[in-house]
Structure 1
Amino acid sequence: MNVAPNNHKTGKEADTASVANYRVDNFTRLVTYSPRFLLMLLILPVLSGLVSVLLPAFGWAPALEQTRFGVQGFMALWQTPGLTQMIGLSVTSGFISTLLAFLMTLMILAAFFNSVWLNRIERLFSPILVIPHAAAAIAVGFLIAPSGMFSRLISPWLSNWELAPQGILPHDAYGISIILGLTLKEMPFLLLMALGVLAQPELGKKLRQQHKVALNLGYYPMTAFFKVVLPNLYPLLRLPLFAILAYASASVEIPLILGPNTPPTLAVAIVQWFNDVDLNLRIKASAGAVLQLVLTAGLLVLWLAGEKLVKVLCNNSITNGRRKYHDKVWQTATIGLTIVILGFVLLALIGLFLWSVAGYWRFPATLPEQFVLLHFQNSFMQMSTPLFNTLTIGFITTLFAITLTLLCLESEQLTTKAISPFTHLIIYLPLIVPSIAFLFGLVWLQQLLNNQTAFLNVAFTHLLFVLPYTFLSLSSSYRRLDPRFANVAASLGATPSKIFFQVKLPQLFAPILIAVALGLAVSFGQYLPTLLAGGGRIATITTEAVTLANGASRRTSAVYAMIQMVLPLIGFALAWILPKYWFKGAKA
């Protein structure tokens, strides 16, 4: 006699199944809506910030009892002494530094493409990426100052200087120091972004194969790179280039430390007006922020026009069949340039360290007469609050950014829909729009809504800048996950939440740690968002370092810059070490 299978479940089993389905539904719903939340999180603050800076710029500021639209702010802006020099300094330093960083990146890629040296160069430049802009500017300033390491190394045996010379660097009126600092800081970022594009399995394999085919056809390596690889690589570097150009044209930390003061760059002047005790200057600051937005947009349009021009001028060179363009000379020059850059950075870091532990150090002595830890001891006594704020804000924003990033990437796989080009553009939005433009408006808005939550305001503004970097860091690793593991788990009855937490996340342990370290590094280095959103009430290591760099002792400034660098380096060191013990323990 056949017995029908019992498909009925006990009450306890039914309750368990319903709870499981409820959790699955909740998790799936959370994952499905996460990309929309990401878009809202990035679009609304930026757009509302832009609107909120436009209104005061045209005279509508109820907080200042001004409710009549007009152009008084722009009139005051036009009458500012030295405005032309401010604009010229911002435009030239931003454009030239971006162009130099781009050209240097291309030369290094072309000279070492398909070579083991490219990975070695990546490892050498990677630590530079985590150095905050303020710390990098302080280090460069110590190096190129009249009594800096350069002057000490050549004195007196070569220069005959017994006293520090009257040099123009840093704080030169032409912005040379700013260009130098921006170029050295942004070039490693662009290089690592290019290497990240080449790390994509299909694209990287395709470009390397095409490069090898060109070599087999008699093309020299660098010529093959520019004719075969670059046309396919450049479109994927356009958004990172725009981010660099937008940042460089509206940077505050580096021009504040290395740039001139009479007049400064436009971005530095806007910050000074915004923080002035005369609140009416905020109208002028808002007008200046609108002008900065227009200048940055003009630079982006200029860059796009330059693309078209270069394409027209070089179109024949790509297809003319010429196999070499003095490749050996260019390769030798690139090797020399790479060594000079690495040497410059290393010397700047050595000089920074020496100033942090220097006792009496007479010029032109190369080394201090004594080494002391007194500067660290004095600084640590006053550093507890800034250090606590730095770490707390960094961890809060990074953990939130990592969580949202993972949910959005999981949404790609559950819905089998890749992120659209529009969403990809929005992820770059806080990096492309000059931060000084929308942050002013966002601060106006935050002060109208709630002026008592300075800490949360700072954390939220940090999140706008941390989130794009964590997303870009994790996206490639998440998309390269082997789907067969998830398929096997699903076939065994695992829910999407179990697959996510127990199958995918363990495989992503190392990339997640790297993304956490990167997010912390980005948060630790934020100066302008902390200064504006916190209203000067939230002190961090970065805000203190920038303040000390303009008037305090070199030794104290060096200590804060060293702490700025050590914090993210600890994060990356842990991200490198922990996976080894994790996987070692798993094998055991």
Structure 2
Amino acid sequence: MAASLRHPLSGLVRLVMAVIYLPLLPAGVMLFAPAFSVTNWQLLLDDPQLPQATVATLVSTLIATLGALLIALFLVRLLWPGQRWRRLSTRLPWLLAIPHVAFATSALLLFAEGGLLYQLCTVCSPPFDRYGVGLGLTLAVKESAFVLWAIYAVLPEKRLAQQKIVLQTFGYGRYQTLSWLILPAIAPVLGAVMLAVLAWSLSVVEVAIVLGPGNPPTLAVLAFQWLSQGDAQQQAKGMLLCLLLLMLLAALAALGYGLWKAWRRTIPNLAGTRPRSQRTVPERAFSGLLPACGILCTAVLLMLARGGDVGPVGTSLSFGLLSSLIALIVIFLWLEWGPQRGAVWVWLPLALPALPLVTGQYFIALRLGLDGHYAAVLWSHLLWVLPWMLLVLQPAWRRIDPRLILTARTLGWPRAKIFLLLKCPLLVRPALLAFATGFSVSMAQYMPTLWLGAGRFATLTTETVALSSGGSIPVLASRALGLLLVTGTVFGIAALLSRLAGRYRQGLR
């Protein structure tokens, strides 16, 4: 049975992945084609918005990426292992359930001029944020929950907890435990997660429209505006700006990797210094900080939302569920029957700016006459849903004990039976996390839905972003609240099923 299934399924999964990743080819051509013209570069460099937009992009991106990493590592250092760490881990899905657009909308309604904070204290007028500091801080808080969730998913708690006891017995503190024990164990996955966070923070459009500086905006929003115009010169400038974002991403990633390697050379401390473990802050206060942000976001939206009007829930729900389900099936087949190594291209949607990829998708849809169709929008979502889910699921797949597979083969089990009855049950909890993550990613898709849907499919995200530019505050809060409730329900169900799987299967805990 395994021999009969191996080649057909291997070819089928490669074909499906090729269809999903097909926009990479026209996106690459369209991204580099304007770069060979000196005139295009001159037009871009002469634009007066470019310097300020670059500064705002760098400031917001660095604050978001470094802030998310520091918050996550600080909480791991402070709380792991222990009851408060497990309690925080159970609360993380509720913050992850809040989409970025909904979180940014609540921050806008709370801190902007005319918001709730301004109404309570008229003296507390918000400063003009031309550098995107507020955008960076909002993204840092939001992305820290995802980083923590990824750490929780890959942290081998039982083994490392025993080693931590040994370190504490020898008098080493929390910082050395984090540096010598936890970070080396999670470094590969953490590096991939932080690269994805960096790429997303650098090229995010919808959140920057809601919360970022307006004139000039960030580089991603500026590129989006230029690509949306009909003028060929403006579109060329938009593509060059996407190329500039890619260059900034490569430079920042190389800088981060270099700093990591340099920092690793400073440890371990061969002098044997054992600094005292001092708790300068209470654990209880910081363990509830991130959940409190989620509660505050929900409370703001509930206070301002208009009852009975949550927007196009059905359309958003259908895109999220179908794209996540399709991606989950494809990922399982890819991990089992796909190539074992060398498929680095599957991570390109996480490392490239989204704008040229959406442009490539739109080019293909126009050529095939599929723009404005439901299937085209669903196909466009898969380009981001699938790699994000694979990022969550692949580490758990690689941690499957090979002795179990060897035992099953010794008993004469074919490959398909091992896959269905052994590997899939072992990956129930990571699969639920991946499904919820993919659903959240699909719900957050703004540009693919807007362009490939030709404006025919209104989702909660597209309406929230549109209303943030000057619509009715109650309607804006209602759309953001609907986005929060739909995503929160899916994350809640995934968390509940994950706990049930761990309760009745001790090996899955």
TM-score of the superposed pair, with normalisation by structure 2: 0.87
Matches of 2:293 and 2:493, distance apart in 1 = 27
Q: Could you tell me how far 1:53 is from its partner in structure 2?
A: 2.3
State the alpha-carbon separation in 1 of the partners of residues 499 and 90 from structure 2: 18
Deviations 1:491-550 (A, max 9, x none): 887654455446654665565444333322221111122233334443221111111111
> How far off is 1:215 after superposition?
0.7
In the alignment, residue 408 of structure 1 is paired with which amino acid?
Answer: W
Change (3 A) 1:496 1:94: same
Superposition deviation, residue 262 in structure 1: 1.0
Contact map agreement 2:59 2:131 (CA 8 A) in 1: no
C-alpha contact (below 8 Å) 1:443/1:532 kept by paired residues: yes
Counterpart mapping for 1:58-457 below 5 A: 58=35, 70-151=37-118, 155=120, 161=121, 163=122, 165-168=124-127, 172-199=129-156, 204-278=157-231, 280-312=233-265, 314-315=266-267, 318-324=269-275, 327-329=278-280, 332=281, 336-357=285-306, 373=307, 376-377=308-309, 380=311, 383=312, 387-411=313-337, 419-420=340-341, 422-423=342-343, 425-450=344-369, 452=371, 454-457=373-376
Query: 1:137, 1:254 within 8 Å by CA — same for their partners in 2?
Result: yes
- Do the aligned partners of residues 70 and 454 (structure 1) sit closer, same or farther apart at CA in structure 2, a change above 3 Å counting? farther
- Work out the number of aligned pairs and report it: 505
Paired with 1:223 and 1:580, the residues of 2 have a C-alpha distance of: 32
Distance 2:390 2:276 in 1: 39
Aligned counterparts of 1:304 and 1:244: Cα–Cα separation in 2 = 14
Distance 1:489 1:219 in 2: 43
Relative to structure 1, is the Cα distance of residues 42 and 298 closer, same or farther in structure 2, using a 3 angstrom cutoff?
A: farther
Query: What is the root-mean-square deviation in Å for CA atoms of aligned residues?
Result: 3.3
Partner of residue 30, structure 1: 8
- 1:585 and 1:113 mapped to 2: Cα distance? 25
CA contact (8 A) 1:289 1:440 kept: no
Q: C-alpha deviations, 1:474-504, integer Å up to 9, x for none?
A: 3455556677887787788765445544665
Q: Residue 555 of structure 1 corresponds to which residue in structure 2?
A: 474
Q: 1:338 to 1:263 in 2, by over 3 A?
A: farther
Does structure 1 retain, via aligned residues, the 8 Å contact 2:59–2:133?
Answer: no
Q: Partner amino acid for 2:305?
A: S
Cα shift at 1:463: 0.5
For structure 2, the residue ranges without an aligned partner over 5 or more in a row are none
Spell out, residue by residue over 1:8-55, the C-alpha distance to the aligned partner (whole angstroms, 9 max, x if none): xxxxxxxxxxxxx6xx55422234446645764576533441222222
Please tell me whether residue 54 in structure 1 is matched to residue 32 in structure 2: yes
Q: With structure 1 as the length reference, what TM-score do the two structures score?
A: 0.77
Q: Which moved more, 1:215-224 or 1:513-522?
A: 513-522
2:488 match: 569
Cα separation, partners in 2 of 1:443 and 1:233, compared to 1, 3 Å = same
Asked if the contact 1:52/1:445 (under 8 Å) is kept, the reply is no
1:10 equivalent in structure 2: none
Given that 2:388 and 2:437 are in contact with CA atoms closer than 8 Å, whether structure 1 keeps it comes out as yes
8 Å Cα contact 1:227/1:318 also seen in 2: no
Structure 2: distance between partners of 1:254 and 1:221: 35
SS at match of 2:162: helix
1:282-308 Cα offsets, whole Å, 9 max, x none, are: 222112211222222222122223224
Identity %: 29
Structure 1 residues 179 and 195: CA distance shift in structure 2, 3 A: same
Rounded Cα–Cα distance in structure 2 between residues aligned with 1:461 and 1:534: 10
Q: Indicate if the aligned counterparts of 1:394 and 1:524 stay in contact, CA closer than 8 A.
A: yes
